[in-house]
Structure 1
Amino acid sequence: MSGSVLHDVLVLGALVASAWLAGLFYAFACSVMPGLERTADGTFVEAMTSINAAIRNPLFAASFFGAPLLTAGAVLSAVAGGGAPATPAAALALHAGAFAVTVARNLPLNDALDAGAWAPASARGGFEVPWRRWNAVRAVLVTASVVCLGAGLATG
């Protein structure tokens, strides 16, 4: 496989994995969390802890880890091929930002909710608004990475 073809395959793979991830964050922002907002505190906490457990699966891991890894591969293949890595590098920076938000904000909130140390109203009160805010940030960052990767494919 030539360097150019390999690069295109890596960018396309990164684009697809990134789109899956952006779609997941978007779905939470526009449907899952607004739907759960309408539930009782205990139902909300039970549903989110169940979602937190269910999302730890190979399909999610494929996009969550695969998108930035494939994007990094696209950056390296562009550099190795003597091309300009600007669009995949921008996408990689955006993925790094989304990963940092996930690790620093969303996961600690998930862990606190999963610990079940508080009554449902207290747990929900400390979780819902900040989690939604940081999820929206992740959605924007990963969506922007999709735009970068798409632009990279379009311009060659």
Structure 2
Amino acid sequence: MTTGLMAGVFGLYQHTVMVGLGRSDDRTFIGGFQALDRAILNPWFLFSFVGALVFTAVAAFLNGNRRILPWVLAALILYVIVFGITVAVNVPLNDALKAAGDPFTMADPAAVREAFHEARWTAWNLVRTIATTAAFGFLCWALVARGEAG
């Protein structure tokens, strides 16, 4: 379930949040993104983000059914990649944009937005969206395969 929730979060950012923010002026983009990034750091998000990794790992290592193990391991590998991308790419970009300060007092918000690398953030988020959706699909298929075997 947490993997499915994360696929939804990444997907929503990809096809709605970043598209909407992308159509805004520089100050609105920066302020909106900063507000979203501060708001998303909450127990619900963190439970889903970390839970997807932990619960899939537990499912892989406690699983005795060899028929579904490849699907669970594939999901785990994909989500480990997503976790790594998030920590190595998206979070540092988010943090740099937050550290830039109040967009309404910036001398050059266009330069701050450009330094954020919006296209890079969005491209890597697309990878996260596809990988997490695939991981969720693999976990769903593992449940189907488990039901067929049982």
CA distance in 1, matches of 2:111, 2:131: 30
Q: Is there any run of 5+ residues in structure 1 with no aligned partner, and where?
A: 1-15
1:1-156 to 2 correspondences below 5 Å: 16-78=1-63, 81=64, 83-84=66-67, 85-116=69-100, 119-127=108-116, 128-156=118-146
CA distance in 2, matches of 1:33, 1:135: 10
CA distance in 2, matches of 1:121, 1:82: 54
1:133 alignment partner, SS class = helix
Cα RMSD (Å)? 1.3
Deviation at 1:142, TM superposition (A): 0.5
CA distance in 1, matches of 2:4, 2:40: 17
CA distance in 2, matches of 1:154, 1:82: 13
State the Cα deviation string for residues 23-51 of structure 1 (Å, max 9, x = none): 01000110111111111100100011111
Name the TM-score, length of structure 2 as normaliser.
Answer: 0.88
Name the TM-score, length of structure 1 as normaliser.
Answer: 0.85
Alignment: residue pair count: 139
Q: Is there any run of 5+ residues in structure 2 with no aligned partner, and where?
A: none
1:28 alignment partner, SS class = helix
Q: Which moved more, 1:108-117 or 1:48-57?
A: 108-117
Q: Percent identity?
A: 39
Deviation at 1:126, TM superposition (A): 2.5
After superposing on structure 2, the runs of 4+ consecutive aligned residues of structure 1 that deviate more than 4 Å are none
Letter in 1 for 2:135: S
